Structure 1
Amino acid sequence: MRNIPKLLAMFLMFLPWTVQVTWGGDTDQDGSVTCYVTDKSGAMPGASVLVAGTTNGTVTDSDGKAVLYDVAPDAVLQISFVGYATVEVPVNNRSVVRVLLKDDALALDEIVIVGYGTQKKANLTGSVDQVGAEVFEGRPNANLSQMLQGQIPNLNLKFTDGRPNSSPSYNIRGTTSIGQGGSALVLIDGVEGDPSLLNPNDIESVSVLKDAASSAIYGSRAPYGVVLITTKGSTKGRPTVTYQANLSFEMPTTVPQYVSDGYTYADHFYKAYYNYNFSNPSGINKTMEFSTAWLAEYKRRAEAGNYETTVSDGSIGTAGRWLYYPEGTDYMDLLYKDFSFSQTHNISLSGSDEKFDYYVSARYYDNNGIFDTTVNPESYKMLNGRMKMGYQVTPWLKISNNTDIAWSKYIMPQTYSEGNGNIWRNIADEGHPCSPVWNPDGTMTYSAVYSIGDYLYGKSNRRYINKQVRTTFNAQAKFFDDRLRVNADFTYRNKDFNTTVKKVKSNYSRSEGVLETITGTQSYLSETIRNYEYIATNEYAEFEDTFGAKHYFKALLGYNYEQQRYKNTYAYNDDLLTPDVENINLAMGTENRSTTGDYYQWRTAGAFARINYAFDDRYLLEVNGRYDGSSKFPHRQRWAFFPSVSVGWRITEEPWFKVSKNAITNIKVRASYGALGNSNVGNYAYDETFSFDNGRIINGQKVRYTSAPSPIPETLTWETARTFDVGLDLSFLGGRLSFTGDYYIRETLNMYTVGPTLPDIYGASSPKGNYAEMTTRGYELIISWNDSFNLGGKPFNYGIRASLADYYSIIDKYNNATRSLSTSAYNTSYYEGMRVGEIWGFVSNGLWQTQEEIDIAEANAQANGQQYYNPLMQTSKDYKLHPGDIKFEDLNGNGYIDRGKNTVDDPGDRKIIGNSEPRYIYSFGIDLEWNNIYVSAFFQGVGKQDWYPSNEASVIWGQYNRPYNQMPEWHLGNYWTEDNRDAYLPRYTGYYAPFYKGTNNANTRYLMDVSYIRLKNLQVGYTLPQKWTKAVKLQKVSIFFSGENIWSWSPMYRYTRDIDVTANIYGTDSVLSSTGDGYNYPTMRSFSIGVNLTF
């Protein structure tokens, strides 16, 4: 992790391979065109002049002049500038072209992708945000979602790990439902899709529909917003081939810094164990023997620098076994490489003529992983292919097809040992620095096999192979001069997700010549095959016209149908014939062999309509309605109607508004209201189901049995999300300065949760039904500035954009009449009036300093009928407090620490001490361009968020949790002793209740502030002057550098940087069987360097 010179050398070595090349069709003739650009005030420096359909372009100089070379006589020039209307001018075999740009709010003419169509941004009445291809270009990342994080306010992408194929949940505007949950609907070219399987280089734009009025057209699939991903299409004119290659170097943003000195660790293990148990340990968890004699000998050797492995003579340890006295082992350093490599190759072909248009692309991505494995190296590979073709059958009919394929293979090493094989948990429990990895005879030690040895050198692994094929056929007919458009499409998608898990025991030795394996289950092989088959069809017609000079009207009417079938087959067998077995038939197990499966299907259908009306571009109206049906509900509840309406008023278009458009360009106020159903419930929630088991033995045989089914409410129906949104759009100074703000209220009604408690005599658990309600409030603010000026005789173009978003949710209705609380800090016993994300805990007023003050507190507790002052705080086996323990405040004044009745009204000495929901989510970025140099930087972060680590967060608690856990370096000299009374940490002891019992004893002293700021992306590039490149027939040559996740800061980093708060504290990682709290695949920092060439 520390070999930075090697990293720089590898950058330079691979630089020649990081090349992007574009070949365009030959022009009809060589020649130059001089373009003069002016506005009503005179020459316009800094205007963009581009040959349409190509990358051949430049900007005007201080005299408004631009010269383009190799321009075909029939080419079209495209001239644009911020705050002015874009103009396209045919060259018509001219060598000089003069253009006059007229004032216009360019942003208002921007076309925004919306449901089943597009709209001018000026006419939008809903809450919609959009980013373009520039967000994804030139970045050293193959994961679309990671690139998109932070780019759009209140599009919340929550990552729990940094794996290259990590897929976050897509959330829009905060908490959606505490019942069945609800993520945003993600559509790729109008059809539901998985963004993790996309090629980021194929993306043209991403639109986010946030409010009900914008997403209502998609009905029950989109109650909590829609993400519309549009892929690139054909370019005009002759064929263009583009090739892009990128090489990146990656390393973890954080690596836990544990004590690696063997004796220091062993000494603190003994302190932590003894101070809790008041007795001596006989071992360091499972894998090492321990005695005070061994520790004393270790101390003597450490002081003398005499580190070695010996054989016990029986005076210390078991006779004949190895005795370890190493200088120390850094298991985290052994786990990770200094850095890993990834490479990306893209190629595309695009073009069109009067009849036929096409876009074909392919991508190859390869990442060799961060783990320093040898036998089963980590590896992630992905292939993408896309083909979009259209044919103009007649002047009014066009047919097209959009087909994409994706294939990925991810190989993860796997540890055999404990649990599900989470490597960070295994290191925490058994990666003892006082044990080496290797014995003198070359065998692995017991600690090594149980932690990294089996992981790095064993033959256990997980393999994930995902395949997808998706094709969409489309036909579009246009009538009445394009005023009536009729579309029909059909999509078929097939996905296969195959998972193979192999666990093979590795040998270790505790005595020379004696090989052992970890006791427990047999080596095994399992295979899971999941198949998803999906079809969808959309038919819709759109009529658009302007009546008179002031009445704009557009109407949409359509039908949608979707269906998905899922099938899962799981096979397991143990007792592998050899460690290299890859065929489950070569596993010899009989007793534990099993085969299981699963199947489900769902269908949804709906008719939808939308009407848009604008009067004189001042008064705007949109009305949506969808009549939706879902197979997930009882027959009498399957269909429902969901309406929405939105309005807008462009004040600057009023005749009485006399302010110059160069000063105030646009003022628009808008409001929307809508209701949508949520069909995100179980596929068969309306059916009473039976489950079978065979765990009982009757008359010597296992018999299958079942139990009474859970009851189903007769009134089971849709969850409903009602959203009210009010927004303000402003732009000034010809569109250079713009502002957008939204405030929203979302009510989630009829949430699907557990209902009233049934009498015990009923014999079944409480039914789930529509029993809860919740309200979410929030806002989004966006401000941007784009401008240019002359610097050194050359245009300096720059842009700045910042955003801020916030939300919070309140439970309005829930079946918890007593308002009871859970014992965990993260209260999951919802109650009316609760703010989602509440953290309940005790108030700490420091550490106990003397035995005298403890005795006074204990006497006061006994006078009030309580045996101990703090019975919840077991800091040792005797339940007694000691100097250096955490002190809690007696908030209810009863003389001792308790939870009362554990209700909101009587919480004892607990109170709300924080909230785990992110607040004040922000981002800001800057783009600069001057003299062919361009720089862009993007920051994002969270302004407020609290976290109390669970007991499994050993990366925080260390040996306070379990004495044998790893010891974080920051603990050294930072815990209470008689000589260190101002320490942050309490006295040194294991199984410490506020840590070992984790969130059950959360308190203000160790509540973590995990707000953060992060430099998410930085790009720097230089484009060589055209006069240098045209001699070698190159249109453009650029050198670029890009970095991802370069830097971050959090208030928590005052204590430790061992956890990346941006991803590794919440959530679970199913691939690595981790549960957050630092036990996740690390977030990766990456750097890329390369060259772009355009021919």
Structure 2
Amino acid sequence: MNIAITPKMNGCRTILLIVLLTMILHIPNGIAAPLKPNNEISLIEAIHLISRKYKVLFNYDRAWVSGHEVRYTLDKAESLEEDLAYVMGQTDLKYHVFDGQYVALYRDDKAGLESLEKMVGHFQSILDANERKKEEQIVAFLNTPATRDIYNRQLELNVQGRVIDANGNSLIGVNILVEGTNKGTTTDIDGRFTLNDIDEQAILTVSYIGYKSQQVSVDGRMSITIIMQEDIQTLDEVVVVGYGTQKKANLTGAVDQVGSEVFENRPMPNVTQGLQGVIPNLNITLADGKPYRGASYQIRGLGSIGQGGSALVLIDGVEGDPTTLNPNDIANVSVLKDATSAAVYGARGAFGVVLITTKEPEKGRTSITYSGNMSIKAPTIVPDMVSDPLVYTDMFVEAYSAYYDYSRTPSSFHRSLKYSEDYHNELRQRAGNPNLPDVEVDDDGRFQYYASTDWWDLLYKDQVMGNEHNISIQRGDDKTKFLISARNYNQDGLFAYNSDDYSTLNLRAKASVKIFDWLEIGNNLNLANEKYFYPVNVSGGVIWYGLVNDSPPMAPMFNPDGTLTMAAAYSVGDLQYGKSGITTQNKVVRNTSSFNASFFDDAFHVRGDFTFRNTDKGQITKRVPVPYSNQRGVISYLGSTTNDLTDRNSGVNYLAANFYTEYEKTFSTVHNIKGLLGYNYEQSEYNSLSTRRNGLLFPDAESLSLTNGGGITIDNNYSKWRVAGGFFRFNYNYDERYLLEVNGRLDMSSKFPTDQQWGFFPSVSAGWRITQEPFWDVSTNAISNLKLRASYGSLGNGNVPPYTYQELFNIYTMNRLIGGTINQATSTPAVIPNGLTWETSTTADVGLDLEILDSRLQFTGDVYVRKTKDMFAVGLDLPATFGATPPKGNYADMTTKGWELSLGWNDELTLGNKPFRYNIRATLSDYVSTIDRYTNPNKDLGSYWDARFNYYPGMTIGEIWGYETEGFFTSEEDIQSHADQNLYSPSSTKTWLPGDIKFRDLNNDGIISYGDNTVNNPGDRKIIGNSSPRYAFGLNLGANWNSLSFSVFFQGIGQQDWWPGTDNALFWGQYNRPYDLIPKSMLGNMWSEDNPDAYFPRLRGYVALQSSRELAVVQTRYLQSAAYVRLKDLRIGYQLPVNWVSKARIKNAQLYLSGTNLWNWSPIYKYQNSFDVANIYGQDQDTEAAARIPGGITGGISNGTQTYNYPTLKGISFGLTVTF
């Protein structure tokens, strides 16, 4: 033992007296209590017997123990664990053994768990007292007269200690830091540690993965034993629900929750990308891979085909946009899936609620946490197209000529390049001499192109850099708490030219003050500023459209004189010119002020909050003509009619107020009640103003004041809505066994006529915790929790446009002169629906929660049926004499049936004499939606060629009707003997040849047809697939060992069909247009006499372009499986040893490596690898909007396919997290 004396003395050391608490049971000497005839004794008597038998001490609340009778004899078992399991299994009490000699008895409820924590602290004090006894003589030595002259000096001690768990097992690698210093260490293989020369009053911060962190005072001791409590979520986990929390064990609704670990150490632009695939039946659809892109949130599938079926997303209890939220601010995300759990949110939560809760400031000294990362990203998929000019031209000529039955030859490669036989021959000659120049100039000064350009390679960068910086400061005590966090995220653009750079800045300030013991007020301020630039093509915004249609590989980017080629001007060259684009800036200010008043020993609470949110979005779209040249010295311009600028500004002012009371009480120890009663009000006001004017004075102009054109278009939109509601929730449970919850909400919405604005929607749920029953005689090591639950309820959905029930008309400027004047006019108001009212969503749910093998294996399963009635859909068929389009109304019903499973495993084993903890979580879900009622009495299938977009009674949502492909025609005899399929065409003259598609004659009438295009007579069509995502799954694997952590997350869809549609050049190549680019995967996979078993038919152009042509017709052969599995996330972390970092006054530091979207697989890649299958039903919304601007290409985007879609990015990042 080493003792150093320092001149920092603060007074005389005294010997602390050890006082045993009265709750420790004194074990008397004596004999066992006499047994009753049936071997029943009181629980207290059994405790006496076990205590004396094993020489252990018990700690418990006598009120919980009294009144229990149990069966027990001394010879019942041979171990303490067996005796405790047998005796306590006959009661509703739980037990925990500490250090092999202390036993705590407690109830598995809030009060019981609080009592358990106090018991652990008490046992710690007993161990500390034992340690002090060993030190008494040493301390007494310091109290001798010989040392009185140094009493006023402070001691520095060498402290030795041991860290153990509740069972007395040594814990290896525990971090121990001396608060306020740079000293620290970790425990060795025996759980022991040594700290030299530390202050006698020092505070030790002790932390370990899987255990609760704690602070221990040295208090002059030189030997310390520290007991760490395991962070057992299954015992006391609470789940965020509407306007409060509930203990997970007592939930009766369908609720799922994930914590902040989902977002930690994952560089991502916004929250949405981190949630995808994590929670079963939370279906998140991303339109594309842009960094700022939001998503559609659906819970348990499609909620409604009419008024919208998206989930309500709330941030700290108030509606918000997750894309404006810092992922590092999130504490947890709860998903309320059924009517009972979402009932208190009423019509706004008709199809489920996503509750995002941000972190609260923690008690303790000021702490500062910084985290940062650098990332390298690239597209998950880059189309690999043919760039060989001769191969491309050979196939172009064949595709073009074959469509015209070889009666015509082409004269140009669409608009950007001429074709001739001489040019073709020149390509053949150059094929063997790659050293010849890519561009020649003919006698007329015209450029002749012979390059082999990979346009996709020119479009994208090889890699994209990104960085993120986060900092948070927090402090808290019994009176005040605050947390301030900031985030800056930057990502370089993917495009090689005119880069689409993205940046976002988030700031949050959260604080609370306890004015009185019964009153606490708080404020939560969030600021977000998001900027994104997106380049567009002057021809209409669709960058990829010009790339695949107007950019043959023979044309290079530049001419010898440095000017752009015409092919480049239609695509990448437009970006290189760098003048056209969309600049978007979003600014969000959101503030919530709240109060919480507590009365009657925290049994009664009054809470309220008021939120205002202001969202301003500014967007400038500029389109500038692109200069190019086909002839030396001659400059032409592409898009000369679209020299314009559009300035659009929109804003949303949103207000929300909540006021509610909550009462919770336990009677006679077994009757537990909890009630909630509240009021909610929300108001939203939207205003937008868009001004477009042509005639930019110069290409770099960024203001409307720098335009002088006569074409001015002004568009203004305004809307406002209000909702209000009173809600209640009542919970009752008997002895933690029988659970009941009743909810209801009275809703009001300004979106309906005055006589339909109010609606009341109730729900009820119940649960039975079978393992809490007295008759349950199964060991908790086998089955620790078994709960059955069921719920039933209805919710209204009022998600209709604000003025649907009013007659609306537009004011516009006429396009002709009347009396020499251009006048304004109004449009004819639409017919309004009669009796417009709420959609009603009624859900029945049955669920099972199971924990077995000492809670290591956890299972949750739900089966549900949701009926959505009175959906807002097309009206009744009316005669033509009605003179107007029939109004929409409440004319449709739908049923959704589904299920979801979640399975988790948590365990620990020893690896290299150190604990190795690992966990597995798997999720699987499915749903099917069916139309029950719809205004389509004849069950018309809609389009003759593509029956995917019409509803009818009995329809399964997403079903795809099409022909069964029998194969290819093999000979002229085969064609003549086959059913007549001249309703469709393989060529301009409908001449079928060997290698063309052959459809099966299902009804054997000798004609391939669509019948009368109804369900009852579809001709030779049938249901061949379904576009709805089925069997969504996720698999998360995690482990930590010796300061190392590892996690991997796979996510995917088990079944989904996708029809490529028409005008999809990335899939069909030159079958679409003969001059389109060709996917390399097609080469060698097209029919020929030498290759009759190829996947694709005889090469013909235009046959996949539109309507009734051979490949435009929906059919089985080219229906694609869009099922996929993706390695969504991979993380490896290393916690730096405290004795390394403490010298820099760092509490803890972690390094991590993270990978995102590193790998994916899908059956579709067997034939085509040009698509990001995870977003295959996505759509580039920015270019879609740009294409609708007058002068743009309005027909360029067909079928919402990913032909023109921004790719998802994959990437690797390296980061650091440090806490001071």
Q: Equivalents in 2 of 1:1030, 1:683: separation in Å?
A: 59
**Aligned CA distance change for structure 1 residues 101 and 408 (closer, same or farther; 3 Å):** closer
Q: Is the 8 A contact 1:62 1:790 kept in 2?
A: no
Select which of 520, 526, 541 maps to 2:646: 526
**Aligned CA distance change for structure 1 residues 1060 and 1076 (closer, same or farther; 3 Å):** same
Displacement after TM superposition at 1:31 (Å): 7.8
Q: Equivalents in 2 of 1:52, 1:116: separation in Å?
A: 40
Q: Equivalents in 2 of 1:777, 1:790: separation in Å?
A: 45
Q: What does 1:47-446 correspond to in 2, within 5 Å? A: 63=190, 91=217, 93=219, 98=225, 106-277=233-404, 278-305=407-434, 306-313=436-443, 319-326=444-451, 328-373=452-497, 376-417=498-539, 420-446=540-566
**Aligned CA distance change for structure 1 residues 219 and 50 (closer, same or farther; 3 Å):** farther
Q: Equivalents in 1 of 2:366, 2:1137: separation in Å?
A: 25
Matched residue of 2:1090: which SS? Answer: coil
Per-residue CA shift, 1:226-263, capped at 9, x if unaligned? 11111111121111111111111110000000001122
Matched residue of 1:1078: which SS? Answer: helix
Q: Equivalents in 1 of 2:798, 2:760: separation in Å?
A: 13
The equivalent residue for 1:1006 is 1118
**Aligned CA distance change for structure 1 residues 53 and 482 (closer, same or farther; 3 Å):** farther
How many residues align? The count is 1045
**Aligned CA distance change for structure 1 residues 30 and 362 (closer, same or farther; 3 Å):** farther
Q: Equivalents in 1 of 2:194, 2:747: separation in Å?
A: 57
Q: Is the 8 A contact 2:183 2:1143 kept in 1?
A: no
**Aligned CA distance change for structure 1 residues 144 and 331 (closer, same or farther; 3 Å):** same
**Aligned CA distance change for structure 1 residues 1089 and 839 (closer, same or farther; 3 Å):** same
Q: Equivalents in 2 of 1:322, 1:64: separation in Å?
A: 79
Q: Is the 8 A contact 2:165 2:230 kept in 1?
A: no
Structure 2, gaps ≥5 residues long: 1-154, 1186-1196
Select which of 453, 477, 480 maps to 2:597: 477
Q: Equivalents in 1 of 2:229, 2:461: separation in Å?
A: 57
The equivalent residue for 2:729 is 610
Q: Is the 8 A contact 1:957 1:995 kept in 2?
A: no
Structure 1, gaps ≥5 residues long: 1-27, 314-318, 862-868
Matched residue of 2:1203: which SS? Answer: coil
Displacement after TM superposition at 1:734 (Å): 2.2
The one-letter code matched in structure 1 to 2:501 is S
Q: Equivalents in 1 of 2:397, 2:642: separation in Å?
A: 34
Displacement after TM superposition at 1:266 (Å): 1.7
TM-score with structure 2 length normalisation? 0.82
Select which of 1171, 1176, 1181 maps to 1:1059: 1171
**Aligned CA distance change for structure 1 residues 1016 and 193 (closer, same or farther; 3 Å):** same
Q: Is the 8 A contact 2:371 2:1216 kept in 1?
A: no
Select which of 749, 754, 758 maps to 1:639: 758
The equivalent residue for 1:453 is 573
The equivalent residue for 1:1024 is 1136
Larger deviation, residues 519-528 vs 733-742: 519-528
Q: Equivalents in 1 of 2:719, 2:269: separation in Å?
A: 32
Per-residue CA shift, 1:959-1000, capped at 9, x if unaligned? 100111111111111101111111111111101148776885
The one-letter code matched in structure 2 to 1:829 is N
Q: Equivalents in 2 of 1:695, 1:883: separation in Å?
A: 56
**Aligned CA distance change for structure 1 residues 898 and 997 (closer, same or farther; 3 Å):** closer
Select which of 674, 679, 689 maps to 1:569: 689
**Aligned CA distance change for structure 1 residues 542 and 58 (closer, same or farther; 3 Å):** farther
Matched residue of 1:565: which SS? Answer: strand
Q: Is the 8 A contact 1:1072 1:1080 kept in 2?
A: no
The equivalent residue for 1:977 is 1088
Q: Is the 8 A contact 1:946 1:1010 kept in 2?
A: yes
Higher RCO structure, 1 or 2 (CA under 8 Å, sep 6+): 1
Q: Is the 8 A contact 2:613 2:655 kept in 1?
A: yes
The equivalent residue for 2:775 is 656
Q: Equivalents in 1 of 2:545, 2:726: separation in Å?
A: 51
Select which of 929, 945, 954 maps to 1:833: 954
Quick check: 1:1083 aligned with 2:1208?
yes
Displacement after TM superposition at 1:902 (Å): 0.4
The equivalent residue for 1:945 is 1056
Matched residue of 2:1202: which SS? Answer: coil
Per-residue CA shift, 1:684-740, capped at 9, x if unaligned? 111122234444525465444445433223321000110111110001122211100
Matched residue of 1:303: which SS? Answer: coil
Q: Equivalents in 1 of 2:204, 2:300: separation in Å?
A: 43
Per-residue CA shift, 1:353-380, capped at 9, x if unaligned? 232110001111111111001xx33211
Per-residue CA shift, 1:935-965, capped at 9, x if unaligned? 1100011000000111132111011001111
**Aligned CA distance change for structure 1 residues 485 and 147 (closer, same or farther; 3 Å):** same
Q: Is the 8 A contact 2:363 2:478 kept in 1?
A: no
The one-letter code matched in structure 1 to 2:532 is Y
Larger deviation, residues 702-711 vs 346-355: 702-711
Displacement after TM superposition at 1:44 (Å): 5.7
Displacement after TM superposition at 1:856 (Å): 2.3
TM-score with structure 1 length normalisation? 0.92
The one-letter code matched in structure 1 to 2:1066 is V
Matched residue of 1:43: which SS? Answer: coil
RMSD over aligned CA atoms reads 2.6
Q: What does 1:11-50 correspond to in 2, within 5 Å? A: 34-39=161-166, 42-43=168-169, 45=171
Q: Equivalents in 1 of 2:447, 2:805: separation in Å?
A: 63
The equivalent residue for 2:913 is 793
Per-residue CA shift, 1:397-432, capped at 9, x if unaligned? 111110010001101122112xx2111111011111
Matched residue of 1:958: which SS? Answer: helix
Q: Equivalents in 2 of 1:485, 1:949: separation in Å?
A: 57
Matched residue of 1:774: which SS? Answer: strand
The equivalent residue for 1:11 is none
The one-letter code matched in structure 1 to 2:661 is A
Q: Equivalents in 1 of 2:1016, 2:332: separation in Å?
A: 51
Displacement after TM superposition at 1:95 (Å): 5.6
Q: Equivalents in 1 of 2:830, 2:517: separation in Å?
A: 60
Displacement after TM superposition at 1:88 (Å): 6.6
Q: Equivalents in 1 of 2:485, 2:1217: separation in Å?
A: 18
Matched residue of 1:442: which SS? Answer: coil
Select which of 1013, 1030, 1040 maps to 1:902: 1013
Per-residue CA shift, 1:80-115, capped at 9, x if unaligned? 997x9x697864735655567899974141011111
The equivalent residue for 1:888 is 999
Displacement after TM superposition at 1:928 (Å): 1.1
Displacement after TM superposition at 1:761 (Å): 1.3
Per-residue CA shift, 1:597-624, capped at 9, x if unaligned? 0100000000000111111000111111
